Amino acid sequence: MATTTFSGPVVSTNGFTGDIQVPTYTVAGAPSASSAGAGTVIYVSNGAAGSAILAFSDGTNWKRSDTGGTIAAA
């Protein structure tokens, strides 16, 4: 299967197959949530008080996907 990079929304009428990969960061190394843009998703290896978590940008902060709290290493 080929790899393609998109710059806008992606829509599939037949569903998606395969793995979804998101960029991985630590809390200290995560990019600015405002520059990433609201709705961007990242994997933060220590963002849930030291445990791994998916996080999303609200346009200002990276928010934990489980609680909506801001990511933190401790």
Over residues 33-39, the mean pLDDT reads 96
Domains of the chain by residue range: 21-47
- By the 8 A CB rule, do 15 and 23 touch? no
pLDDT digits (tens, 9 = 90+) for 42-70: 999 999 999 999 999 999 999 999 999 99
More confident of the two residues 44 and 17: 44
Q: How far apart are CA 27 and CA 37, in angstroms?
A: 17
| Helix locations, the chain, DSSP H | 33-36
Q: How far apart are CA 66 and CA 58, in angstroms?
A: 14
Instruction: Give, rounded to a whole angstrom, the gap between the first and last alpha carbons of the chain.
Output: 40
pTM of the model: 0.77
Over residues 14-20, the mean pLDDT reads 81
Residues in the chain: 74
Q: Which residues contact 8 (CB under 8 A, 6 or more apart)?
A: none
Question: What is residue 1's predicted lDDT score, i.e. its pLDDT?
Answer: 58
